[in-house]
Amino acid sequence: MRSFFPSLFCWLILSIGATAQPNWVDQVYTIETVKDIPYGVALDYAGTSRTLTLDLAYPTNDQPPVCGRPLMLIIHGGAWLGGEKDQGYPALLLEDFAERGYVTASIRYRLGMFQTEKEINCNISGINGLQWNCLNMSDSLEWVRAWYRAVQDGKGALRFLVDQHEELQIDRRNVFVVGESAGAFTALGVVYLDQEEEKPAACDSIASVLLPNPIYEQPCVINPGFAADLDSMDLRRPDLGSIHGNLHLNVDSFRIRACGDIYGGLFQDLFSKRASGAIPALYLYHQPADLIVPINTDRILAGFSACASSIGGCQTLYGRPHSSGSTAVVNLLGMLQDDGLEIPDYFYDKSTNNASCLEQILNPSTGGHSFDNYTLRTGNMAAFFAEKMDVSGFCLSSEAKVQIPTSGQLSVHPNPTTGILSFPPYSVGALATLYSLQGSIILESRIDSGLQMNLDHLPPGLYYLRLILGNRLQTTSIVKL
């Protein structure tokens, strides 16, 4: 078990490492990239089994800090219908942050949604080459379910990487998650969707869809490889399971320090039910001219749909949910703070670009669903993340794993509890650590002669408790009512 009183020799080693500490902002390192590493298998929206992969990058000429390098998980956009881990901004972020001293990973996750049975046709291009037709869904619930599957995959990919922290020299205290567009929605879910009670009702078992209209078969189903044809698709919409998915559920503990939201948003409030002291920081970037993800609250694709209708003669896109973009998220955080709730430390990086639909068509450099200045904005994000880095030299212990779900032998009572948790007599002097199901540390303290832990300030939910005393390790799950 990690000692809280390092020897003089250990302190010297830590001091030497500190002098070589990267600043996490300057791009100074040579890197190596490994592509297409499998991290899991899962069923997509149409019932097809998908192998999920990621690309990994890391410095080759650095001196890794004592506890390892920070980890950044990168999630691509594409409306949960397209996009790739090794194209566009995700490919740049993968390399640029590895050059700053991170271990970076860009993931491929499950894509796809059921298009509507209605015939809604307008042959213009959309996001990442997707046709306008492919953005017409069976109903608005499809977007939420697609987001949820992506969140499950992102959480699984993160645990896959953390499970290899020794081989990859990852500092599990310093984990960051970044996404752009749909990937930013997903990143917010990976970081802040941490209690089962936050699971959207749309992700329970709900009514099956009707067979999508034949006009969508070739461009929206066959071409992207979701199914061989419409008739081979499973039209049922089963319960999507736990917010954590089912990949790599037995994993060493880790701490997410911050989330990067690059012109993304939320389908629901993910901040109101957070546990005290466990809220990762948040970087947001958005442009007012965004036609894809409204910067305020509106239906997703609101600007693009209006643009296509006014200029391309298209109907309004069908089956879209409301979303809250970066300004709406910041407003929500302000309201929660006014109500006395703890909110994440955040930095809102907003452009002044208000170009209209027509202006963006005539001059693509004014496009609102992109960076106005990639170097400036990613530099700002890097500097913000660097401020959140734990560089204390006290590394997380690898002697115990967080199991999701878990059962243990530790006997505490009452369990379920409304607040006060009592420990058995032998627990005096033990280190007790309470985790969220995501693996974030909520509380950590030594058990004194009172043999109690106070959970009054925590919201209701399921937690994981670990007790270490000498070489004895015991675990159990805790239900807070």
pLDDT at residue 434, as a whole number: 86
CATH code for the domain defined by 21-388: 3.40.50.1820
Residue 75: closest CA among 95, 96, 54, 57: 54
pLDDT at residue 440, as a whole number: 74
pLDDT at residue 426, as a whole number: 72
How confident is the model over 21-66, as pLDDT tens digits? 689 999 999 999 999 999 999 999 999 999 999 999 999 999 899 8
**Extents of the domains making up the chain:** 21-388, 401-480
Better pLDDT: 277 or 339? 339
Is the pLDDT score of 230 beyond 90?
A: yes
pLDDT at residue 403, as a whole number: 46
Could you tell me the sign of the dihedral formed by the alpha carbons of 168, 158, 99, 82, in that order?
positive
The reply to whether 401-480 shares the fold of 21-388 is: no
Mean pLDDT in residue range 200-210: 95
Better pLDDT: 103 or 398? 103
> How far out from the chain centre does Cα 195 lie?
14
401-480: which CATH architecture? Sandwich (2.60)
pLDDT band, residue 273 (cuts 50/70/90): confident
Question: How far is residue 97's CA from residue 59's CA, in Å, rounded to a whole number?
Answer: 9
Question: How far is residue 48's CA from residue 421's CA, in Å, rounded to a whole number?
Answer: 45
Alpha carbon dihedral 259, 106, 225, 44, in 10-degree steps, equals: -50
How confident is the model over 360-402, as pLDDT tens digits? 989 999 999 999 999 999 999 999 999 999 887 778 776 545 4
